[in-house]
Amino acid sequence: MKKSSIAEFAFAVLAACASMSAAAAPAMMKEGMLVNDKGMTLYTFDRDAGGKSACNGDCTSKWPPLLAGDSDSASGDYTIVVRDDGRKQWAFKGKPLYLWQADKTPGDKKGDNVNNVWHVVH
């Protein structure tokens, strides 16, 4: 292989790598609490146990689960649990993650301590 061909090949590989983005974490810490990619506060539910969600049916209209896509994979503190309906949900340190329907803007945390069983993730 000529030097120019090797250089062209290396440049093409580097360009392809630069265009690929690393898989983003499903959430991040912001102002001391865990939020999703839109800045909305994430919660855990005390009744969840054993890496399984206890919030199903009507509960999910108030507490939407933070869903994972089919191609998403666990990484670090983030794992994926399978819900009763077969959908995949993100969990943080083994606890499934949820949003609260009354939170309307990033930073809202109106769901903290609802019924003493829902908590902001810190």
Q: What is the pLDDT of residues 47-65, one digit of tens each?
A: 999 999 999 999 999 999 9
Number of domains in the chain: 1
Q: Is residue 39 part of a domain?
A: yes
Whether residue 76 is contained in a domain is answered as yes
Element (DSSP H or E) covering residue 59: helix 59-62
pTM for the predicted model, two decimal places? 0.81
- The pLDDT tens digits for 17-42 are 333 334 578 999 999 999 999 999 99
3-state secondary structure 75-94: ECCEEEEECCCCCEEEEECC
**Does 21 map to a domain?**
no
Residue 90: give the domain boundaries: 26-120
Task: Tell me whether residue 3 is in a domain.
Answer: no
Q: Is residue 10 part of a domain?
A: no
